[in-house]
Amino acid sequence: MRKKEKEAVEKLSKITTIALKRGFFWPTAEIYGGKAGLLSYGHLGKAMKNKFENLWKEYFIKSNENYYEIGSSVILPEKVFIASGHLEHFNDPLVECKTCHFRFRADQFLESRLKIKVEELTPEEMSDLIRKNKLKCPKCGSWHLGQVKWFNMMFPIQLGAVGIKDMAYLTPETAQASYLAFKREFEATRKKLPLGIAIIGKAFRNELSPRQLITRMKEFHQAELQIFFDPAEINRLDKEEWKQISKYKLIMLPQKEKKVKEITCEDTNKKLKLPKFYVKNLALAQKFYIEQLKIPKSKFRLRELSEKERAFYNKIHWDVELELETLGEFREVGGVHYRTDHDLGGHEKYSKENLKIFYNNKKFIPHVLEISLGIDRDIWALMDIFFKEEKERTVFSFPITVSPIDIAIFPLVSREAMPEKAKEVYNILKKDLLCFYDETGAIGRRYRRQDEIGTPYCITIDSQTLKDDTVTIRERDSMKQKRVKIGTLLVELKNIM
Ligand code: ATP
């Protein structure tokens, strides 16, 4: 194994150990041996996920006064997926060993064995590659591998009583529910465009080779915003709005380039010929990662997908990718997709419901621009990017916007009225902040335990507190301490957060 690969495996194993031990996540039904692709969040993981979702809502939904969040069932009738094209096209290439009947993903198998990209190949081309390279079954070592075939990744569900066919599927993306809600929401929200419909929810995909922990699961969480707009306005933007972003630099890897480039929104529009409305939303997505999640610019890029890589209905498709050492490469965590009228058009055709609107003095089907993020994959990315090992401690230097806990409160020792005073402080702070209280063990150990889960600040109550009502605030990254009055503690904390 090469040095880089070895380091990636080690880092992955260290983060996973902390995740299991401290309560970020673990395999679902672990006591029964677990199931590949199913994971559950512990108290820290869930707290982090809650924060991520709140941040996403605050940032994306409040970016426009006509964007709203809705909810939906995750079971949707079969017709939805006939209309969306998922029944026909939502497939992964599968190969079966004719000797031991082990089934696995042909693309991942070829990529790992031959170290080449095969995303654009047909099943026939993949079968040829397997044959020509004389590849053997990864489980039993047999040469006898079958033809590569498409495998549909949706989970079917039979609704209704046994024997009565009433097919439905667990939704493979939250997006479809927003399209189904469009007509009602447009009417209910005063018939204006652009209209944003957001859903944070579960998605289900029967991934053939679920792997890499929470980055590829069978049941996962997405935060998706569907923006419905008039296609005639795709290159028109309010002058003031454009002025505000035109000089902002996007970190881009266009198809024709080998290296990432920083390109202003203005040049992205003029030279790369991306419409202004799309550029605005690329900038919105990039700023979420760079400014809200504090991802270093060097680990972020927007990558343009080739025509063969992207779904046939996506006219423009750039992925948000982050460099993850644990996976040894840049990995997609989200995407900005211009889906045209494919979705509403398809649903109009199959439901026979008129989904056209009258707006800007004309009748038409609105187009959709989608900003789609995977919550679990983003959480893993944050754990990967902010993980640090120092001489005497391991730290997750998460920004406070996503750290599972805001503040830990400790009495220096568990006697001399310090615990009582510390609980008083805890009760004051818990109304505004996510607090954790701990009075057992040496103070240095307690600090290390909080560093390990990424708590940005620790407050310590010591003997001086009992004399003058002051406490220390310890900052995680610098480990510097500052003494402040309990009366001004909340204000002090809010100032430095
Ligand atoms: P991939 O190519 O990695 O399978 P995708 O292009 O199919 O992903 P989308 O359909 O665009 O993904 O879904 C949006 C986001 O949902 C992805 O960017 C990713 O963060 C997340 N996601 C997709 N599939 C999974 C999965 N199986 N487990 C966890 N997250 C996922």
pLDDT tens digits, one per residue of 12-71: 999 999 999 999 999 999 999 998 899 999 999 999 999 999 999 999 999 999 999 999
> In the CATH scheme, what is the homologous superfamily, with its name and number, of domain 405-496?
Anticodon-binding domain (3.40.50.800)
CA of 373 to the centre of ligand 1 (A): 8
Q: Which ranges in 324-406 belong to alpha helices (H)?
A: 342-351, 375-385
Judge if pTM exceeds 0.85. Answer: yes
Verify whether ligand 1 is closer than 6 Å to residue 224 (CB atom).
Answer: no
Q: Is the CB of 327 under 6 A from ligand 1?
A: no
Asked if residue 335 has its Cβ within 6 Å of ligand 1, the reply is yes
The answer to whether 213 and 234 have CB atoms below 8 angstroms apart is no
CB atoms within 10 A of CB 53: 14
Cβ atoms of 366 and 343 closer than 8 Å: no
pLDDT digits (tens, 9 = 90+) for 120-159: 889 999 999 999 999 999 999 998 999 999 999 999 998 8
Task: Read off the tokens for 212.
Answer: 């890499």
Rounded to whole angstroms, how far apart are CA atoms 343 and 328? Answer: 35
Degrees to nearest 5, angle at CA 222 with 73 and 154: 60
- Picking from 385, 192, 355, 196, the residue whose alpha carbon sits closest to that of residue 284 is 196
Q: How far apart are CA 138 and CA 116, in angstroms?
A: 18
What are the residue ranges spanned by the domains of the chain? Answer: 3-86+169-387, 91-152, 405-496
DSSP state of 410: E
**CATH fold for the domain made of 91-152:** Herpes Virus-1 (3.30.40)
Could you list the pLDDT tens digit for every one of the 497 residues in the chain?
A: 688 889 999 999 999 999 999 999 999 999 999 988 999 999 999 999 999 999 999 999 999 999 999 999 999 999 999 999 999 989 989 999 999 999 899 998 998 899 888 888 899 999 999 999 999 999 999 989 999 999 999 999 988 776 667 899 999 999 999 999 999 999 999 999 999 999 999 999 999 876 666 789 999 999 999 999 999 999 999 999 999 999 999 999 999 998 999 999 999 999 999 999 999 999 999 999 999 999 999 999 999 999 888 888 899 999 999 999 999 889 999 999 999 999 999 999 999 999 999 999 999 999 999 999 999 999 999 999 999 999 999 999 999 999 999 999 999 998 889 999 999 999 999 999 999 999 999 999 999 999 999 999 999 999 999 999 999 999 999 999 999 999 999 999 999 98
| 322 Cβ below 6 A of ligand 1 | no
Ligand 1 centroid distance, CA of 371 (Å): 12
Q: Is the CB of 173 under 6 A from ligand 1?
A: yes
Give 374 Cα–ligand 1 centroid separation in angstroms.
Answer: 6
* One-letter amino acid for residue 290 of the chain: I
Burial class of residue 362 in the structure, from the number of CB atoms within 10 Å of its CB (0-12 exposed, 13-18 middle, 19+ buried) = exposed
Rounded-to-integer distance, Cα 395 and Cα 15, Å: 10
> Which atom of ligand 1 is nearest the CA belonging to 372?
14
Q: Hey, whose CA ends up nearest to atom 29 of ligand 1? A: 216
Residue with CA nearest ligand 1 atom 19: 374
Report residue 109: phi and psi, to 5°: -60, -50
| C-alpha to C-alpha distance for 94 and 359, rounded to whole angstroms | 46
SS3 assignment, position 371: strand
Q: Is 332 in the pocket of ligand 1 (CB under 6 A)?
A: yes
Give the tokens for residue 72: 């939906």
Ligand 1 centroid, distance to 299 Cα (angstroms): 19
- Burial of 253-283, coded b for 16+ CB within 10 Å and e otherwise, reads bbeeeeebeebbbbbbbeebebbbbbbbbbb
84 lines ligand 1 (CB under 6 A): no
* Ligand 1 geometric centre to CA of 377 (Å): 8
Give every CB contact of residue 306 below 8 A, 6+ residues apart in sequence: 120, 255
- Ligand 1 pocket mutation, candidates 219, 377, 380, criterion most atoms within 8 A of CB: 377
DSSP 229-263: E-GGGTT---HHHHHHHTTPEEEEE-TT-SS-EEE
The torsion angles phi and psi of 484, rounded to 5 degrees, stand at -135, 160
Q: Is the CB of 334 under 6 A from ligand 1?
A: yes
Cα–ligand 1 centroid distance for 91 (angstroms): 13
- Per-residue pLDDT at 140: 92
Q: Does the beta carbon of 346 sit less than 6 angstroms from any atom of ligand 1?
A: no
CB of 205 shorter than 6 A to ligand 1: yes
* One CATH from 1.10.10.10, 3.30.56.10, 3.30.930.10, 3.30.70.100 for 3-86+169-387: 3.30.930.10
Cα 330 to ligand 1 centroid, rounded to whole Å: 14
pLDDT of residue 1: 65
3-state secondary structure of 269: helix
Q: Which amino acid is at 110?
A: L
Distance CA 431, CA 391 (A): 36
- Distance from C-alpha of 81 to C-alpha of 223, rounded to nearest angstrom: 20
Spatial CA neighbour of 368 closest among 213, 127, 193? 193
Using CA atoms, how far apart are residues 468 and 334, in angstroms rounded to an integer? 51
Q: How far is the CA of 172 from the centre of ligand 1 (A)?
A: 10
Ligand 1 atom closest to Cα of 374?
A: 20
Name the residue with the closest Cα to ligand 1, atom 21.
374
